[in-house]
Structure 1
Amino acid sequence: MTAEARFAGSRAWHERASSVLAGGVSSQFRAFGVFHPMHYTRADGARMWDVDGNELLDFTLSQGPCILGHSHPELVARVQAAVAKGQLFAGQHAEEVLLAEALQRLIPCAEKLRFTSSGSEAAQACIRIARAKTGRQRILKFDGHYHGWLDSVAWNVAPPGNAGDAPVPWCAGIAESAAADIICLPWNDLDAVRRTMDAHGQEVAAIITEPVMCNQGCIEPLPGFLQGLRAICDEHGSALIFDEIITGFRIGLGGAQGHYGVTPDLALFGKALGSGFPLAAIAGREAWMAPLEAGRTYHAGTMNGNNACIAAGLATVEILERDDALRRIATLGAALRDGLAQLGAKHGIALRVQGPGPMFHMGFSTLARATEFRHVAADDKAAYHAFCQAMLLEGVRLIERGLWYVSAAHTEDDIAFTLAAADRSLAGLPRT
């Protein structure tokens, strides 16, 4: 059966959606379908089913959140029980306190917390807090790092190779005035950070970074890089902000800060925290959260701490702790990552597969190791697109930018199935 016939129902629904939804989607990332945007009917464990009845083994996990897998029965039951008592109080409730206490116990920087609904909101809150405490305006971020879609951070998310030193907006419509408050540097270049902060540190409220550059290449920090950022921020009185939206609860229950032993001043958590429910957390040292606690700066949101999402977060943390799920996820992820690299060697295809294991990146490249965005930007995107098409026809759903996620619902048999599918897919790719 041809791809067109196999996914005809999704195409028809996409065409229908395009008459009422801008671009036929509700998030721009969904517009880049392997063949076209897909439409789904249900998901369970590590699998999803589309409107055409195709069963797909899922390594997108809804762009990462579903760390327990889809529709985990205990999680669903906990959420249903919470909603039965009321979906939204717009007031405090006991489970919110219980979740905050659990996160305070697990996360090194979490002396005080606030809950919100998305990573984009949490990033803005951390930046506002840093500005309120320091009285400074500028933010230093890194090329290829994604901290949400809002104007203040949507710079150099995927800069062109000829960008030069001036920040490049992610897309049209971003306020040009925001460029004055942003400094963008290559990831893992501590000397560049040191030079820049020596020149402009008195203007910089915060350095914000993914502690692992997950969104572009799943690049881990070079030895001493995070420690160097910590020291530089201490020297200049700037906040160190870790964007743990992906690393939090995936690389460890203490986040990347627990894994690497570097404690930031502020951090944001999301995705896996809510296991598919819209939940994010702002965590920080008490001294840095003081402007928020004193009411000198505001963070608000009607949906913050709503019953369903808090119940999902509390259930997720308890299940991950109780079931030792992260160890299994790391073991399975490492086996999948290493197996893909071995298949590249078997077929004589230049592949780079790197990352901690619970999440990793696969790219077609002769460069064995990427350490910053320009390395990933040079990958053969057309080859990976063709690989994703072949894998979808094999019954495996992937994120087209090369990021793989593993969940607690995946099994050793799933890894074996995927590697066999990848073996066939790589064998069938055209050689150039």
Structure 2
Amino acid sequence: MNQRVLSERARRVIPGGVNSGQRSVPGLTDLVIAHAEGARIRDADGREYVDYHAAFGPPLLGHNDPDVAEAVAAAGRSLDLAGVGVTQGEIELAETLAELVPGIEKSLLTSTGSEATFHALRVARAATGRRLVVKFQGCYHGWHDSVSLNVISAPDRVGARDPISTGILPEVLEATLVLPFNSAEAVRRAFAEHGADIAAAIVEPVPHNVGCLLPEPEFLRTLREECTKAGSVLVFDEVITGFRHALGGWQQISGVTPDLTTLGKAIANGYPVGALGGRADLMDLFSSRPGGPAFFAGTYNGHPAVVAAALATVRKLRAEPVHEHVFALGARIREGLTAIFDGLGVPAVVAGYGSVFVAYFMTGPARTYTDLLRNDAEMFIGYRRRLLGHGVFELPLNLKRSHVSYAHTGADVDHLLEAAEQAARAQLAQGGPVDVAAASTMGGAR
């Protein structure tokens, strides 16, 4: 059955035909994925793409990694969901997180990153008795109300509260302070004025939901210092950076240790798991410990299948040269794209870290969200749509990052760079028509 028929069936019974808001991409509304393996995905009409979107980043090892799949199958032969007590796998995974991630002494599992960030802010308020939360423009922390604002904002909404959804109570939004990313001075001002009422500051140490803005060392250090002085809880949302950039997350790279850390995505190579970990005194406030005042529950938390996937993923990350491989390919891509766009006279900033890359079509610098307002959204989206014709899939939504996996090869990178030059030339020569409605798409993905 072809894609058009299947997508029409989907829209009759699923709102919009997809189960997450950013899976419906303008111009690709009939896309039905039929197969995913290694570095490739194939649609229901048989077209195959080298996949750099990678489901917003989870499959660091590649789609359907055989070692992870076998671990999940093995777990299923002896366990399913009992919903009482704990399994040996859950214990081993918590021990592993405590060993690898500097800021984690104890941890709890969730099914999504959004749940992990929700519980992080809940326990921060429980611990401090305070009301306010600090977040940063361009950072996405999930779908829950207190952080559902100021991700990809229109120019006239930067500096104001900019919710990504209707249906949020104004008083909830009013309890969130939004600051510019990479501004140590803004952090100091906010804590000077509101520090006694700030329960937590939450940050993507690298705001990957707007591509890749690398944090300046002073910014993260200042955030740590101000939270410590005020008695506020510092939360690193490492749902994207955790395990993809280093086994110990960005906190290992930066040397800045948060009080709480959220993880997800690459931790289990695409299986639905999130984690919240941190200081033992904070984690012991959850009701998983009898008498803990901060309620914590979830029927599927610690499901044996996802725990097995996470343990297998981490074993492979520790045993094989995964990071060396993806970092080398990522560097080749960034260097190659920079040379291509320079050669074509296209203003571009090719940003990224390790296995992540993104080409902003603008002049530099790219250090804050406001800088990204200069990005040529029509060029960004049009270029990526043209890549599809060369069998390369980078999500054609404005500002979205791309990823390399362990399954990608040097030949895949050669193909990407050849396709990139042809796609850029074609976009420059022909321009539109390109539907840039996606340029105003708000939100992220968990």
Q: TM-score, normalised by structure 1?
A: 0.95
AA partner of residue 90 (structure 1): G
List alignment gaps of at least 5 residues for structure 1.
1-7
Q: Deviations over 1:160-179 (max 9, x none)?
A: 22226431111222222211
Separation in 1, partners of 2:165, 2:125? 25
Is residue 39 of structure 1 aligned with residue 32 of structure 2?
yes
Q: Call closer, same or farther: CA 1:166–1:421 in 2, change over 3 Å.
A: closer
1:414–1:34 CA distance, 2 compared to 1 (3 A): farther
Aligned to 1:347: 344
Which letter maps to 2:14? L
The answer to whether the Cα contact below 8 Å between 2:217 and 2:254 also exists between their aligned partners in 1 is no
Whether the 8 Å CA contact 2:137–2:180 is kept in 1: the answer is yes
Deviation at 1:33, TM superposition (A): 4.5
1:76 aligns with 2:69: yes
> What code does the residue aligned with 1:86 have?
L
1:10 matched residue in structure 2: 3
Per-residue CA deviations over 1:214-272 (Å, capped at 9, x if unaligned) read 11131010131111110010110001100000000011000000011110000100000
Question: What is the aligned length?
Answer: 424
Instruction: Provide Cα deviations, 1:169-218, integer angstroms capped at 9, x if missing partner.
Output: 11222222211210001100110110111000111100000001111131
Q: Could you say what secondary structure the match of 1:208 adopts?
A: strand
SS at match of 2:234: strand
Q: Does 1:154 align with 2:163?
A: no
Distance across 1 between alignment mates of 2:354 and 2:390? 23
Determine which of 317, 327, 330 is the counterpart of 1:330: 327
Equivalent residue, structure 1, for 2:49:
56
What is the percentage of aligned positions where both structures have the same residue?
38
**Cα distance 1:174–1:105, how it changes in 2: closer, same or farther (>3 A)?**
same
Offset at residue 37 of structure 1 (A): 4.5
SS in 1 for 2:428: coil
Aligned residues of 2:145 and 2:173 also touching (Cα < 8 A)? no
1:90-123 deviation digits (Å, cap 9, x = unpaired) = 1310011111111111000110100010010000
Aligned twin of 1:100? 94
Which SS does the other structure have where 2:314 is aligned? helix
* Match 2:227 to one of 214, 226, 233: 233
Deviates more, 1:416-425 or 1:82-91: 82-91
**Amino acid in structure 1 at the alignment position of 2:180:** P
In the alignment, the residues of structure 2 paired with residue 75 and residue 377 of structure 1 have an alpha-carbon distance, to the nearest angstrom, of 40
- Partner of 1:429, secondary structure, is helix
Cα deviation, residue 34, structure 1? 4.6
CA distance in 1, matches of 2:27, 2:336: 23
Assess, with a 3 A threshold, how the Cα gap between structure 1 residues 37 and 270 changes in structure 2: closer, same or farther.
farther
**Match of residue 314 from structure 1:** 311
CA distance in 1, matches of 2:357, 2:236: 19
2-side partners of 1:371 and 1:164: how far apart?
A: 15
Across the aligned residues of Structure 1 and Structure 2, the Cα RMSD in angstroms comes to 1.4
Alignment partner of 1:368: what SS?
Answer: coil
Secondary structure of the equivalent of 1:62?
Answer: helix
Q: 158-167 or 179-188: which moved more?
A: 158-167
For residue 246 of structure 1, what is the amino acid of its counterpart?
Answer: I
1:224 is paired with a residue whose SS is helix
Question: Hey, what's the Cα distance between the residues in 2 that align with 1:396 and 1:198?
Answer: 49
State how 1:186-197 maps to structure 2 within 5 Å.
Answer: 186-197=180-191
Counterparts of 1:362-377 in structure 2, within 5 Å, are 362-365=359-362, 367-377=363-373
Where 1:248 maps in the other structure, the secondary structure is coil
Aligned to 2:136: 142
**Could you tell me which of 146, 149, 157 is aligned with 1:163?**
157
Structure 2 counterpart SS, 1:193:
helix
- Which amino acid in the other structure matches residue 192 of structure 1? A
**Correspondence for 2:81:** 88
Whole-angstrom CA distance in 1 between matches of 2:72 and 2:345: 48
2:378 alignment counterpart:
382
Aligned to 1:405: 403
The answer on whether the counterparts of 2:2 and 2:45 sit within 8 Å (CA) in structure 1 is: yes
Secondary structure at the aligned position of 1:430 is classed as helix
Are the equivalent residues in 2 in contact too, given 1:34–1:388 (CA < 8 A)?
Answer: no
Which moved further from structure 2: 371-380 or 387-396? 371-380
3-state DSSP class of the match of 1:283? strand
Aligned-residue offset at 1:406:
0.8
Q: Deviations over 1:17-42 (max 9, x none)?
A: 11111011100010124532511111
Q: 2-side partners of 1:34 and 1:229: how far apart?
A: 41
User: What secondary structure sits across from 1:422 in the alignment?
Assistant: helix
Partner of residue 117, structure 1: 111
Q: What is the rounded CA distance, in whole Å, between the counterparts of 1:45 and 1:265 in structure 2?
A: 36
1:74, distance to aligned residue in structure 2 (A): 0.9
Indicate yes or no: 2:389 matched with 1:393.
yes
Q: Secondary structure at the match of 1:35?
A: coil
Partner of residue 266, structure 1 = 260
Instruction: Answer yes or no: is the 8 Å Cα contact 2:150–2:158 preserved in 1.
Output: no
Aligned partners of 2:142 and 2:292: how far apart in 1?
A: 25
Residue 334 of structure 1 and its aligned partner are, at CA, apart by: 1.1
Instruction: Give unmatched runs, 5+ long, in structure 2.
Output: 432-446
Determine the structure 2 residue equivalent to 1:279: 273
Deviations 1:283-337 (A, max 9, x none): 1011222312451111110000001000000000000000021111111111111
Does 1:128 find its partner at 2:122? yes
Question: Which residue, out of 283, 286, 308, partners 1:289?
Answer: 283
Which secondary structure state, in structure 1, belongs to the residue aligned with residue 402 of structure 2? strand
Structure 2 SS opposite 1:53: coil
The 8 Å contact of residues 271 and 279 in structure 1, kept in 2 or not, is answered as: yes
> What is aligned with 1:298?
295
Contact 2:81 2:304 in 1 (8 A): yes
